[in-house]
């Protein structure tokens, strides 16, 4: 891999120019990247974003995983390093238009005190710098993994409505399954699930928390599914089919987790069910990712190198060389 990375580095033109523009771009967003000083007391967009991610980790917020997205993007670029090396690279003047657009976005975000808009502007401008110096071929090669950087934006504060609807749907589906399939009597009121009293135990209630709503699992499963589809498929319809399946699979994983919680609570009580609810979050991702891998296997593309279908024409057999006849006699 070291040799291939060296070839990729040697094949990049205008490395000094790119370094200078990158440093200037970073300095702009470090010293003039955040105008919401009352919220996070720093002019740096990078410090603001790091503070939001740190606070999200402390409060178990859905934005906590955002700081790990750049590492996933880096891994994807390393996996496809050969394609990046083979991409045509040249100066491309329209890339400057992306830089201008990014500056306008950042100015708007700075004036309306929306640092998230400035984060988008930083990513668009960096994409434009690469396009200006390395051309449209490079931009096409990195577009998909670069697009995934958008998942690092902290947006959970704007998703309260969809979060509640997903939470409500998961609660309804899991209680319906328990009542009609497993014959476990549970009562639902919104996102509250009640267990009626029985002779050997008192009744109790569960409140399906926001962590079970599906937003975090949906976002992570969608992110991993996008990476899986890009690495394993070239056909656009196959990629779209796998990506679209991530939404119902994430909800299915959450529903399976809730059903297991209710089953454990029915057998061993509220405390045991609460432990499953808080410590078995991996079940959501296990179910969803298992479904993604199964669908990927079902939709796998044929290997053109090993295809030997009936439509393939057989190679013609070489014609036998004519046998040498008797040598003519020489006459004098």
Which DSSP string corresponds to 191-203? TEEEE--BTTB--
Q: Into how many domains does the chain fold?
A: 2
Q: Which of 153, 185, 208 is the last residue of a domain?
A: 153
The pTM of the full predicted model, rounded to 2 decimals, is 0.81
State whether 10 and 142 are in the same domain: yes
Instruction: Specify the pLDDT at position 247.
Output: 84
Laid out side by side, the sheet with 204-207 consists of: 187-189, 192-195, 204-207
Within a domain: 311: no
Identify the CA nearest to 68 among candidates 40, 84, 49. Answer: 49
Within a domain: 201: yes
State whether 129 and 165 are in the same domain: no
Q: Both tokens of residue 51?
A: 């503070």
Q: Both tokens of residue 114?
A: 């929306």
Contact by Cβ (8 Å): 216, 65: yes
pLDDT in tens, 291-330: 999 999 998 887 654 544 444 445 555 555 555 555 555 4
Alpha-carbon span 299 to 234, nearest angstrom: 11
Within a domain: 251: yes
State whether 147 and 165 are in the same domain: no
Q: Which helix (H) or strand (E) holds 277?
A: helix 270-279
Query: What are the residue ranges in the chain where pLDDT is below 70?
Result: 38, 160, 210-216, 303-332
Question: CB burial class (10 A; 0-12, 13-18, 19+) of residue 206?
Answer: buried
Within a domain: 265: yes
Sign of CA dihedral 106, 108, 113, 117: negative
State whether 67 and 206 are in the same domain: no
Residue 294, domain extent: 160-298
């Amino acid at each position: 891999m070291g040799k291939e990375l060296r070839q990729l580095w040697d094949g990049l033109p205008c490395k000094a120019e790119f370094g200078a523009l990158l440093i200037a771009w970073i300095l702009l967003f470090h010293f003039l990247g955040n105008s919401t000083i009352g919220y996070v007391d720093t002019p740096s967009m990078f410090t603001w974003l790091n503070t939001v991610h740190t606070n999200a980790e402390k409060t178990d917020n859905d934005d906590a995983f955002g700081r790990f997205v750049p590492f996933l993007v880096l891994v994807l670029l390393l996996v496809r390093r050969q394609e990046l090396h083979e991409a045509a690279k040249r100066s491309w003047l329209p890339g400057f238009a992306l830089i201008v657009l990014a500056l306008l976005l950042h100015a708007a975000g700075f004036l309306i005190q929306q640092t998230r808009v400035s984060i988008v502007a930083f990513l668009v401008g960096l994409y434009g710098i690469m396009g200006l110096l390395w051309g449209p071929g490079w931009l096409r090669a990195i577009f998909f993994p670069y697009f995934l950087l958008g998942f690092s934006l902290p947006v959970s504060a704007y998703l309260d409505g969809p979060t509640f609807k997903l939470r409500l749907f998961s609660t309804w589906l899991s209680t319906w399954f328990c009542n009609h399939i497993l014959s476990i009597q549970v009562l639902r009121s919104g996102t509250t699930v009640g267990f009626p009293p029985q002779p050997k135990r008192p009744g109790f209630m569960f409140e399906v928390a926001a962590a079970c709503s599906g937003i975090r699992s949906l976002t992570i499963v969608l992110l991993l599914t996008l990476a899986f589809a890009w690495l394993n498929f070239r056909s656009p319809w196959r990629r779209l089919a796998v990506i679209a399946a991530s939404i119902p699979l994430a909800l299915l994983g959450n529903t399976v987790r809730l059903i297991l919680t209710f089953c454990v609570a029915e057998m061993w009580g509220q405390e045991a069910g609460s432990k499953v609810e808080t410590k078995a979050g991996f079940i959501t991702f296990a179910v969803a990712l298992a479904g993604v891998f199964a669908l990927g296997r079902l939709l796998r593309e044929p290997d053109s190198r090993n295809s030997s279908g009936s439509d393939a024409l057989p190679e013609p057999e070489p014609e036998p060389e004519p046998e040498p006849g008797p040598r003519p006699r020489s006459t004098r």
